[in-house]
Each structure stands twice: as structure tokens, then as C-alpha cells.
A and B are shown apart, each in its own frame.
Chain A
Amino acid sequence: MPALEAEVKRRGLEEEVRVVNAGCRGFCSMGPVLLIQPDGIFYIKVQAADVPELVEETLVKGRVVERLTYREPTTRRHIPYYKDIPFHGKQMRIVLRHCGLINPQSIEEYIAVGGYQALAKALTSMTTEEIIEEVKKSGLRGRGGAGFSTGRKWEAGRKAEGEIKYALVNGDEGDPNCFMDRALMEADPHSILEGMIIGAYAIGAHQGFFYIPYEHTLAVRSIRTAIEQAREYGLLGEDILGSGFDFDLELRLGAHSFVGGESTALMHAIEGKVSEPRPKHIHTTEKGLWDRPSCLNNVKTLNIVPEIISRGAEWFASIGTETSKGTQVFSLAGKVNNVGLVEVPMGITVRELVFDMGGGVPKGREFKAMQIGGPSGGCLPASLLDMPMDYETLAEAGSMMGTGGVIVWDDRTCVVDVARYFLDFLKDESCGKCTPCREGIKRMLEILTRITEGQGEMADLETLETLGRVVKSVSLCGLGKSAPNPVLSTLRYFRDEYVAHIVDKKCPAGVCKELIEYYIIADKCIGCGLCRRKCPQEAISGEKKELHVIDAGLCIKCGVCFDVCKFDAVGVR
């Protein structure tokens, strides 16, 4: 105070400025405080040493001294809210509503956030017809990949004749890059159980089975605990919530397989047999598990059901596109910055998913394509970046929604090599029952392998397309029918890359080992010798501080030199 008064006097401002001692304003931790009227400028933590500057800047020149002003501590602009980060803010989390927010081992937390309310509503105030009608109206399509109308499946299950019916859950997430089903089972097991019980009630099933691959130890533990807890509270067992409805389920643990995504194959697995599909002239809703009416649903589909019951079919149908209602959970993997899970309304464009939410391609590389649908899907090149994605648009583009698994490719991804990789995977996953799938995939793989080794011929491309068409139309189940998709899709959009492999014997992306050569770039190498030391084949030679050289005859193209060189002196051609 005295400092202020003295300074004001010194500057001859006594006539214009009045210094008033106003007592405590309550902002004690920020004192000494100053309020300058009529401007209403509020200064905090003002020391005597600050006074000359304050008087000069504010009282004389009318400028605010920023460093003395009050900074709102809760605004903290540099810590964004989740909703302001594109990865989160653009999401609409229905399936993932509880994931990462509640303790999955606690049924109490699930109930506290409203869990099992939908089940109670369904059991105590809705008829089975009303429940099925609501699910139908919502437009919910199976999230396992096939996208069949859940309402219609349940309707068929309800109408089917038989005293004993089964409600089944498919936790056998087959796609090699997908992890959303597993993450959901780990993070929010009760939501799946709730949907399952509602479905069982709707179709008239009193017994259920939940298939989880035994390798997913965390998911198994999560679901097992959830089942026990639900039983304790009477949400499973006899007379659930006093409704008179009995329902309980067993876990079925088996091996993980890709063909397990096919419902008849999974039912055979539950029966203890080999996971082999059968022709579906008679649907599983009529004769499924042990030849009894069964409804098998994916974990995500069931997780959505309680939300539809609580919030209504109209709400769900208002999200998404004309044919594909609601949201989709995408697992982002591959050459993308933000690897993880995002949930967005159907109809999001490729660009939004990969660049806004995925954070784009790392290391400044170029986007080449986005693979969706796993081994059953196809790729979407840069020309389709602005295509809104739903079940139909993706099928038209030669791909498929599948379960929402996305892999992003950059310019160092070889499409021929990727197609080969998927076929190699499918060759092992094929159950072997029907000829087109068993033999067709194998032959397509042989051709692709030859092409990656520089042994391809132009006629191979026609063979691939013909074979692909046959396998697609004649295979017994979905695995075979969709197996040619990666090949046909890459041929459709990246035919010139195939041609380069066949005619020029070159791999433009620098991947196919037989067709590439590692070499050292003369004007970048400083002769540090790091590559020479790291080379497992001792194929690099050179003197210290002199240009090093790779012996192509010894080089196995492992790429270690490329990875370790700090001077970008290793090239691939």
C-alpha cells in the first residue's frame, strides 16, 4: 500500500488516482490483490517491486500487465477435455459406454450406473412380442460381421417350435487384428449378460452358453466373475427379479478359431465337436445347438440391447445411415498413430476415421489404403477417402464392414504381400470340409507366393480372378465365400502393383524380399560401421569413416541395417 501511494504521488497522479484500502475480498491465497476501477482490472500477488511497472503500464498507459492477472486454474486450456480431443470427442460411445470408467469386477458399480434397469423393465413391464418389436424397429444388425437383423433372428427364435431353446453368445473374435470384443468382455461383462438375458426371455430360452476362447484369460475371468455376481443378486437363476422367468448359463471355453465366427461352426464347438459349419438350409433358429432352436449373438450386439430397451428404438434408429443404424466400434491398427478402439455413428468417412480420430499415418508416410473387415474384407484406397461407411457402401466397394477391424496401410505396404498374408491365414483357418475353400484358397496362395518371388505371369491375374469368383460363389460358409475378397479388392484398386511384380519383377513398396535389394546410399554414409556390426550375415563391409557396401549375395534382406542407420543411408529398391 505505501509503495503504491508513494508511486502515485511521485508520478503526480494524485488528482486522478485514489488508492483505497478495501479490506479482505476473500481471495486470501492470491493476496496482495488490487482492483483497478473503472476498468475492473484485477491483479493478484502484487509485490512492492511490481508497483512502478503497474503504475506506468496500467494507470498511465492503460495497459494490462499480464503476468499479474488472475489465471483461472480450472480452465487449464492446455489440458483438453476428452470431448475436445478428436479421438474422443467425435465418438458416440454406446457399446463402449462403461469401458474404462467402471470396475468390471464390481456388479455394484454396474448397478450404480444404471445396470440391469433395462432387464427389469423388459421382464416386468414388456411382453416378449414388444421386446422383439422394439429391437426390430431399432434396426439393430448383428455386430459379429454378417449384419443380419437381430430383431428378425429373435423373432424366428421365438416362433420356432420346441420346449427347449438356447440363447448363445459368441465371444470367439476371429479377425487377427481385432480386439474390441475381447476388450468389451474384459471391461464391461455385465452389459453382455444383461442383453443375453433379455434375448433369452424374448425367445423363450431358459438355458444359455457363452463361448470364449480359453486363451483370453482376462476375458474369461471377467465374465466368470460377472456370472457369479449376477447369480448372487438373483439376476441369473430362478424367478429373476420376481418375474417368474428362469434363466442361467454356462461358460464354454474352447480353442480360438476364425471359423468360429460362423454360427453353425460355433454351435458344433459348444457341443464339443470340431468347429465345422454345415449348410444352412435349415436355420439355426429352428435347429441349432443339439438340433434345438438357438439364437447366437455377438457380444457387442447383446451389449447394445439394454440401451435400446432403456432409450427406445427411435433413439437408436436416429443414429447412423438409412440401412445401417446405430454405431460401430472400430479397432484401429496398422500404420496409424492412435491405435485403439473408437466408436462412431455408422456413415463416418474413411478420412475422418483414419486422419481425425486415428491421427493419421505415422512418420510422415503416405496413406495407401485402409483395410476393413479383416481377412474377409477388402481395401479402400485414397480415392475412397470421402466415402461414408456402412454395411452397403462397403460391400459395394468390394470390402465389408465385418466386425469393424481396420488396418491402415502406408506406402511401404505391399498389397500383393498383404493379400498373400491373408490367404495364408485363411488356409490354416479353413475347416477343410468343402473343396472350393480348401483347394481354392491353397491354389490362390500358391499363385500369390510365386508373384511375390518374381515368378508370376500375366495369365496368373486372370486365374486369380476366376478362382476367386468360383470360391466366392460355391463355398459352403462365410469363410470361403469371403476369402477371395482381399485378393480381388487389391486387384481392383492396385492392379499396377501386381503388374510391377510380374512384368518388372519389382516390388514398389520395397517389401517382397526376392524382388528388393538393400544398398547403401553413397552420399549419406559416413562410415560409422553400425550396420556392419549389426548385420546378422556379416554382409556389409567397409573401413571406418569410409563408404560401406552390402554384398547382395549374402544379404537376407532382414532390414536391420535400414532400421539402425542414423543417417538414412540405407536404401531399398
Chain B
Amino acid sequence: MPKLKSLEELQKLRQQLQGDIQARTETSTTITVGMGTCGISAGARETMHAILTELEARNIDAHVTTVGCIGMCSKEPLVDIQQGDEPRVTYGNVMPAMVPRIIEEHVVQGNVVEEWVVGRVAG
């Protein structure tokens, strides 16, 4: 890609990227998995695998991404689900066995599985 040669080019790029992200979040579900060292030690890789397997089995098109450590290490693996305008909801201590229910109830039906939630990010 062309190298950025001015502040204006950087700002233009930022706006374009913001637009891309917004378009994506408005129309589809974003699933974020904590994949810092704390998450990995708690089993986030297995949880991620379960998520990808479940999504494929149900033929769901969701954007799955990874992030580093948010600081809530004692509740890892953490999985965030964001749909459209809804606030981003964080599930804690997500073991692979919990994934099917989260996908079915939250992602498909839009009902948050309240008993497993540890918090949500205000808009």
C-alpha cells in the first residue's frame, strides 16, 4: 500500500477505515475473543475453536476477531458479542461447552444469556 505522506492522508485513511468498520458492525455480528496470554492460559484457543465450529455448522456469517488482555484476567476466556446498535456484551469464563447456547440464544435469537454475562460496554 502507498505510504502515508502527510497528516491529511492519515486523516483521510482514518475516515475511510471508520466507515468500513461502521458498515460492518451495522449489518453483522462481531464476536471478539480475548487472546492475550491470560486468555490463552484459561483456554481461549479451545473456546475460539468451538465458536468457529458452531458458526460453520449453522452457516452463520459473523465477524470473529481477537483482542489482547482487557485486564479482567480472572474471568478469561472472555467473549464479546456486538450486534448492530446494541451495546457490546461481555461473557466471562466461556468454556467450549457454553458456546452453542450463546450462539443460538444471543447471536441467532438476539436474547442475551444473562447468567453468563460479566458486563457490557456503554455505547
Contact = CB atoms under 8 A, between A and B. Distances in A.
Interface of A: 74, 76, 78-83, 85, 87-88, 91, 96, 99-105, 108-109, 111-112, 114, 116-117, 120-121, 124-125, 179, 182-183, 186-188, 216, 218, 222, 232-235, 237, 239, 241-242, 337-343
Contact of B122 (A83, A102, A114, A117): A83
17 contacts: A79-B112, A79-B119, A80-B119, A96-B70, A99-B69, A101-B121, A112-B14, A112-B18, A116-B10, A182-B37, A233-B3, A234-B4, A241-B6, A340-B71, A340-B72, A341-B69, A342-B71
Contacts of B122: 81-83
Nearest to A183: B69
A241 B7 contact: yes
Given A79-B119, A100-B78, A234-B2, 14 more contacts: A79-B117, A83-B122, A100-B68, A111-B13, A179-B38, A182-B37, A183-B36, A186-B68, A234-B3, A242-B5, A242-B6, A338-B72, A340-B38, A340-B74
Interface in B38-93: 38, 40, 65-75, 78, 86-87, 89-90
Given A76-B114, A80-B119, A242-B6, A341 B71 contact: yes
Contacts of A235: 4
Nearest to B67: A100
The 8 closest A-B pairs by CB, nearest first: A187-B68, A100-B70, A234-B3, A341-B71, A340-B73, A242-B5, A112-B17, A183-B69
A233 B4 contact: yes
Contact of A85 (B3, B87, B119): B119
B117 A82 contact: no
Interface residues of B, number: 45
A278 B34 CA distance: 41
B97 interface: no
Contacts of B72: 87-88, 100, 338, 340
Contacts of A112: 14, 17-18, 20-21
A239 to B, nearest CB: 7
Contacts of A216: 37
A172 to B, nearest CB: 16
Nearest to B115: A78
B114 A78 contact: yes
B101 interface: no
Given A79-B114, A96-B71, A104-B67, A109 B4 contact: no
A9 B13 CA distance: 70
Contacts of A188: 68
